[in-house]
Amino acid sequence: MTIEEAQARVDEWIRTIGVKYFSELTNTAILMEEVGELARIMARKYGDQSFKQSDLDKDLADEMADVLWVLICLANQTGVNLTEALEKNILKKTLRDSERHKNNEKLQ
């Protein structure tokens, strides 16, 4: 699935099953909540924290998909074409950082 197709599928789901989008502010708060849930799993799986019983059934991929879902909702609501935005962002990073990371001793 392309990013454009993902945006269209989320929009179709929202309009047919979800009834309508939550407000942009509500979706921003939900995005922060979902990022927090992802961070919690990352801290336990790859960091120093131990898993709590309530974390054991959490799936990393599903948590990432939840973040992507809400981000796509926000893009749809605000008229952002994520394909174009990502292409522009990659170009910006390429121009800005073409030598920066190669010269970072921490990455050698």
The SS3 call for residue 56 is: coil
Q: What is the tens place of the pLDDT at every residue in 53-84?
A: 887 889 999 999 999 999 999 999 999 999 99
Q: Give residue limits of the domains in the chain.
A: 3-81
The SS3 call for residue 1 is: coil
- pTM flag (> 0.85): yes
Q: Which superfamily does 3-81 belong to?
A: MazG-like (1.10.287.1080)
Please calculate the CA angle 75-92-90 and round it to the nearest 5 degrees: 60
pLDDT at position 75 is 98
Q: Which amino acid is at 81?
A: N
pLDDT at position 59 is 93
Q: What is the tens place of the pLDDT at every residue in 25-46?
A: 999 999 999 999 999 999 999 9
